[in-house]
Structures are given as C-alpha cells and as structure tokens.
A and B are shown apart, each in its own frame.
Chain A
C-alpha cells in the first residue's frame, strides 16, 4: 500500500541525457511524506490499494480518497489481468474456444465452458440434441464448481478479516473438489472438458464413488462454517451493515448473484430461465433482506447446501449413454482417454482409425484442423454462475472460427458496485465489501 499526498511536492526528479529526459522516481522517505502531510491543512489523502495487495483478490487496484478513517470516494482501476481472450478466440476454432474461456474466471471454469458451449449450441441449433448424460454431468460439475467458488470466497473473505481458520477450512474442502476435477478432467483448473455438443469424454471409473464420498464428507464439514462464523460476534460485527446495497442500487448497477439476492430478490437464472435441465432439479434459492456482506455470506453458505442437494440428484439420475451429439460433423470421432501424460487420445482408437478406416482418419483430421462451420447469426446464452449472470454473446459469420464472443462476466459488472458500497464507510470496511462482491480479476479483465 502506498500513500501519496494529493499535492505531492516533488514526485520525480528529471535529468537530461542524450536519450531524452530521464525521470528518477523513488519511493521517498516516510518522515518527509509524513511531514508534508502534516504541513498541509488539506486532510484529503488518496490511498492506492493494490494492484498488488493480498486483500484485493488479485490485481485489483482500489483508489480511495480518505478523510481520516472515512472513505469519501472510491474508484477501481482494472485491466491489470487483461489477456485478450475474446480477441484470441477469433483466431481459433469453435471447439478450441473452450480452452480459452475456461481461463477467464479461473475459479468458475465449468460455468465459463458451459455458457460458451450453450451459446455455440444455440448458434448451431443443436440444443435439443445434446445427450441427457452430458447435461447431467454439466450440472454436476457446475454445482461442484459453485461449491468450490463459494469456498474460496468465504475462505479468502475470512482471511481478510483475520480469521485464518476459515481460510484453512475453505481451502481444505476446496482441495477435495479439485481432486474430483482432476480425476474427471485430468486437470485441477483450466479443464476445457465441456465442448460444443457435449463433453470431451465420459466420467472415468470411480468418479461417481469419489463424488459420493465427497458429498458425505462435505455434509459433515459444512456445519463447521456455521459454528465458526455464522454466530461469531466479531465476524458479525465486521460484516453486518457493511457493503450495503439495496435492491434499487442492485438493479441500476446490474448486480446479480448473491448481491442481488441479499437485497431480497430471489432471481436465479436456474429457476427463471432454466438451461441444462435445471427445471427438473429440486433446490431452493436462498435470499436475505439485509442488503449487506453478512447476508451475502449466509446466502453463499446456503447455496453450498443447495448445491450438495443438486449434486446428489445428479448422481442418482446418471444413466449410461453418449456424452456427445450424434452429428458426426460436430462431434470429434476421437475417443479421448486419460493417458499417463494427461488428456490424450486412446491408443486403441488411434490404432483403429489409422489401421482400418481411412475415412475416419480424414474426417478426424478435417474436424480438428478446420473445425466445423457455424451458420451466420448471433446468440446469447446465460448461466447462473456463483457470482451472478454469466452471459455469452456469440456471433458467427458462417466460418469455422467465432466472429465475436463477448463474455458478460458477473465479476466485471458487480465490481462497479464497489463505489456505492464503500463511499461514506470506513477504510477497513472496504476490504469486507470487496470480499462480499467476490470479484475474480481473471473474469473482470478477461
């Protein structure tokens, strides 16, 4: 954290060289800074929090104008993690797109992949052909992902309050979920497992048992968060009435997810505009009427319980069947298998197509190098990510590559509410408010 006075006297000394003017910028002496601050009768101080600060959730820069301990104005500086994913997508095939979008909000990879794939499937007009098993596994993974994302939110949020036990507990339980991801997709993050038309491959043997084991364990672990935090007076004192944003503010600023639900509106796309068959699952949408960080914390806790319910229902309704659309112009003829070096093609399958089927080999080659063509037009698909409405606007020009893919990431939109939540409050409450927004900079900056 660096402090600079609004009317800093000498920021940098200049020196003329043959290469042009060279400015030497130094951090300065704290005594001098303090002296300058004391000399001035202006109490206005601007604090730059971040972009490298443990409590700003990655490379988020908060620019706070403070008067004593009160924040009079708050602004966000973002873009430090901009990686041009949307632009990059335009130079890869539609299938390769999942490899990129999974890296956007890196805590919710399955939501990014599903939203993207739903948009591509809508453009292709194959929504009805996606096999049931693929949809169930998508829901299963998304709900596990909701758990892992909320766990990180609660864990890091607790750590920022100084409650390191919650942090340890949260990451302990998230690890169990990452193990499941690794078993199913081969990777702990950045899976690219959900593909336009279905999934990259079926669940490996043992996955269902491991998830059942996890559900059992998690049912025991979830009440621990209640015991640790929900009734904890320090926790409550830090969170209650902090980061206040009422329903009108949420609607105006486009906030969705736990922030909107903490203002009392039970808006959840899984109920309102169901996708992947969510209308057939039995779950509740928790709300709070406190409009504050504590309400959001309680909502996240309850959503984790509901997610466990959905995961159990998914496991019960998993029926054997295909996990990719029938259409051979879209589905790769590949049969991917988990090899010793990670995700790869099954050797038996390679032997078969190389040795016995020239057609399949040509077809495979064309599909992988060229990709499939998507009819021109545009589509919008939205899913309820742990942070709110994750929308994908995909445009095709009839080619094998996306013409334009825009992600309406909930973190990006929700982060705008930071100023409304923090201005007029205390500096220490900024941390709590930002933690309750749960922004992930990978999603904000993309």
Chain B
C-alpha cells in the first residue's frame, strides 16, 4: 500500500542524495482550523497559562518536483496528455500534494471529467478502477468548503492515486463522473445525501441512505450529531456531541 515500503514504492533504490529526494511537502497547505489554547477545553477557566495560544492547523502543502518514483511518471504522463488535448496543465491541476507515500492531485472542478477520462484511457496511466467518492466538509477552508475525494486504482500498473476537487458552500456543484466510472453512481448519491454536493450530470441524483424527505445534509460539520443525556451510576452523561472535546 505505502509507496515507501520499498516494494515498487517511490524509492526502491533509496537514493538519498539531496537532489533526488522525493518532494518535501511545503507549509502552504489550506488552513482548516484555528486552535486556541492547549487542551481544547473551551468551558471553564483554563489556568494552565496556555489559554492565549493560537495555532493554525494546515493540511500538507503542495510538493515540489521530483515527487519520487512513479509519482513523477504519472504526473508527466498526465500533463503531456492534457497538453495534447490543448489544455494548460497548470490551469487544470491546482496543486500536487505528496504526503505519507500518497499522491494527491487537486483538480479544478470544471476539468474533473477530462482528467478522469484521461487517467482512465491513456495507456500509460490506465486508472481503470475508481473506488468511489468520499465527501469531506472543511468549514474552515473558506471558499473551498466541500471536497470530493476520489481514489483511482490502476490494476494494469498497480498504482493508486487520489483526486481531490473542491467547491464552495455557496455553489456546491461538482461534475459527475458516472459517465466515466459508472461505479460512482451510488457513491455520488451518497456524497450528495450526506454533504449536499450536487454532481452535475448524474443520471438520478437522489438521496440514498436518508429518507427521501430528509431535511439537511447530516455529515456536514454544522449538522449536530444529536443524542440525549444518559444517566449512568447516578451521573448524567451528556450526549456525545456535548461532551468535552480536546481537539
């Protein structure tokens, strides 16, 4: 699984001279949260002295070339194939992140279908299996709140990459990949059901898990988990989303 475990990973020979090291991740990742204090508790007095601490939590930032191993091959092939179609790769691929032995391509949403079709059909890429879409809601990532994350597997070349597309909360539209990967039919319905991401071009975008008349999108961060306090051995245990959080 991990590209770093030697077996067909990015560094099979472990060439450690500085110029050949795989791309170090930068600090410029999107800010998803601002943490105040040290211990996450926001109720009651914090006497620790760390109460004024403010830290911004960022996701891993874009990587620089070389990415390492087959990551560069995939990036080169994809960029070449996009250029052949008359597209400028920099406009299509927002950023490339290499983190924890995984390659993530952040794609501008209007080019998602083109990129997916290229990744599927190009003989050098051949990502023939899509494992579906996973929605993620980052309320702190302003203007890019809703993310759709796709994992594409190439059985031919035995590779796995991740595509990430974002949409603002105000305009939650992302093109559907059902025409390229029919397996995404239910997955996109699920992401719509839970996150309200509208997949344009989906043949029948309806709720799949929740009842058809359900209001709201339950897995968004602003949607409460719900639950009631429970009495246990004489003490009131609050509902899970009311308990103290240490994040």
Q: Does B47 contact A (CB under 8 A)?
A: no
Contact of B1 among A86, A382, A408, A445 (CB under 8 A): A382
**Contact A376 B57, CB 8 Å, known A272-B155, A274-B7, A400-B40:** yes
Q: Does B218 contact A (CB under 8 A)?
A: yes
Residues on A with beta carbons closer than 8 Å to the beta carbon of B128: 251
Q: How far is the CA of A255 from the CA of B19 in the complex (A)?
A: 42
Most buried by A among B136, B137, B209: B209
Q: Nearest chain B CB to A371's CB is how many angstroms away?
A: 7
Contact of B132 among A279, A376, A399, A413 (CB under 8 A): A413
Count, chain A residues at interface, CB 8 A: 56
Residues on B with beta carbons closer than 8 Å to the beta carbon of A413: 131-132, 183, 186-187
Most buried by A among B5, B158, B160, B246: B246
* Those of A377-420 within 8 Å (CB) of chain B: 377-382, 389, 391, 393, 395, 397-401, 403-404, 406, 408, 412-413, 415-416
Does B60 lie within 8 Å of A376, measured CB to CB? yes
Q: How far is the CA of A381 from the CA of B58 in the complex (A)?
A: 22
Q: How far is the CA of A445 from the CA of B190 in the complex (A)?
A: 10
Interface size class, chain B: 35 or more
**Contact A78 B208, CB 8 Å, known A254-B131, A393-B149, A398-B33:** yes
Q: Nearest chain B CB to A158's CB is how many angstroms away?
A: 28
Does A82 lie within 8 Å of B209, measured CB to CB? yes
Q: Which of A45-53, A118-126, A212-220 contacts B (4 or more CB under 8 A)?
A: A118-126
Residues on A with beta carbons closer than 8 Å to the beta carbon of B219: 86-87
Q: Does B225 contact A (CB under 8 A)?
A: yes
Q: Nearest chain A CB to B235's CB is how many angstroms away?
A: 15
Residues on A with beta carbons closer than 8 Å to the beta carbon of B131: 254, 382, 389, 391, 408, 413
**Contact A91 B241, CB 8 Å, known A272-B155, A393-B151, A413-B183:** yes
13 A-B pairs whose Cβ atoms sit less than 8 Å apart in the complex: A90-B225, A122-B101, A273-B158, A378-B102, A380-B102, A381-B1, A391-B151, A395-B136, A397-B247, A398-B33, A401-B245, A403-B136, A406-B134
Residues of A within 8 A of B (CB): 78-79, 82, 84, 86-88, 90-92, 118, 122-123, 125, 127, 251-256, 265, 267, 272-275, 279, 369-371, 376-382, 389, 391, 393, 395, 397-401, 403-404, 406, 408, 412-413, 415-416, 445
Q: Told that A84-B225, A399-B245 touch, could you supply 20 new A-B pairs with CB distance under 8 A?
A: A78-B208, A87-B219, A87-B225, A88-B225, A90-B225, A92-B240, A125-B100, A251-B128, A252-B181, A254-B181, A273-B1, A275-B1, A369-B246, A371-B246, A397-B32, A398-B33, A406-B136, A413-B131, A413-B183, A415-B186
